[in-house]
Amino acid sequence: MLDTGSTGFMLVCTMLVLLMTPGLAFFYGGLSRRKNVVNTMVMIFAVLGIVGVAWVACGWSFAYGGDGAIPVFGGLDQLGCLSAVNDMVAEAAGTPDAFAILSGQGALAADPELAASYPAIIDIVFQMAFAMITCAIITGAVAGRMKFGAVCAFVAVWVLAVYAPLAHMVWGGEGSLIGEVIGALDFAGGDVVHISSGLTGLVLCIMLGRRKGFAVLSYRPHNVPFVALGAALLWFGWFGFNAGSEFAADGVAALALLNTVTASAAGVLSWLMAERLHVGKCTLVGAATGLVAGLVAITPAAGFVEPWAALVMGAVVSPVVYAAISQAKRRIGYDDALDAFGCHCVGGIVGGVLTGLFCVPELSWTGAGGLLYTGDWSLLGAQVLGIVVTVVFVVAADVVLGLIVRACFGGSLRVSAADEAAGLDVAVHGESAYPAYLGLD
pLDDT-derived band at 3 (thresholds 50, 70, 90) equals confident
Q: How far apart are CA 348 and CA 336, in angstroms?
A: 17
Beta-carbon contacts of residue 108 (< 8 Å; ≥ 6 apart): 85, 88, 89, 101, 115, 120, 121, 123, 124
pLDDT-derived band at 77 (thresholds 50, 70, 90) equals low
| Chain centroid offset of residue 416 CA | 30
Q: How far is CA 188 from CA 176, 230, 304, 311, in A?
A: 16, 20, 11, 18
Tens of pLDDT, residues 131-161: 999 999 999 999 999 999 999 999 999 999 9
pLDDT-derived band at 117 (thresholds 50, 70, 90) equals confident
Beta-carbon contacts of residue 121 (< 8 Å; ≥ 6 apart): 101, 102, 104, 108
Of 60-64, 93-97, 114-118, 200-204, the poorest mean pLDDT is in 93-97
DSSP summary character for residue 211: P
With a cut of 60, say whether residue 440 has pLDDT above it.
no
Q: How far apart are CA 432 and CA 441, in angstroms?
A: 12
Cα end-to-end distance, the chain, whole Å: 59
Which amino acid, one-letter code, is at 302? Answer: A
Cβ–Cβ < 8 Å for 366, 186: no
pLDDT of residue 104: 39
Q: Which of 298, 305, 260 is nearest to 16 (CA)?
A: 260
Beta-carbon contacts of residue 143 (< 8 Å; ≥ 6 apart): 28, 32, 36, 39, 40, 43, 337, 338
- Residue with more model confidence, 110 or 62: 62
Q: How far apart are CA 46 and CA 199, in angstroms?
A: 21
Q: Which of 52, 189, 192 is nearest to 129 (CA)?
A: 52
| Chain centroid offset of residue 221 CA | 22
Q: How far apart are CA 321 and CA 233, in angstroms?
A: 21
pLDDT-derived band at 2 (thresholds 50, 70, 90) equals confident
Cβ–Cβ < 8 Å for 267, 235: no
Domain positions in the chain:
4-426
CATH no. of 4-426 = 1.10.3430.10
Beta-carbon contacts of residue 132 (< 8 Å; ≥ 6 apart): 18, 21, 47, 48, 51, 52
Residue 152 three-state SS? helix
pLDDT of residue 109: 39
Q: What are phi and psi of 391, to 5 degrees?
A: -60, -45
What is the pLDDT of the chain when averaged over all its residues? Answer: 89
Of 218-222, 365-369, 417-421, the poorest mean pLDDT is in 218-222
Q: How far apart are CA 140 and CA 391, in angstroms?
A: 19
Q: Which of 61, 49, 3, 1 is nearest to 22 (CA)?
A: 49
With a cut of 50, say whether residue 441 has pLDDT above it.
yes
Q: How far apart are CA 315 and CA 358, in angstroms?
A: 14
Which amino acid, one-letter code, is at 309? Answer: A
The full DSSP string for 211-274 is PTTTTTS----S-HHHHHHHHHHHHHHHHHHHHGGG-SSSHHHHHHHHHHHHHHHHHHHHHHHH
Which amino acid, one-letter code, is at 271? Answer: W
pTM: 0.91
DSSP summary character for residue 146: B
Tens of pLDDT, residues 35-72: 999 999 999 999 999 999 999 999 998 998 766 666 67
Beta-carbon contacts of residue 131 (< 8 Å; ≥ 6 apart): 51, 55, 59, 159, 163, 164, 167
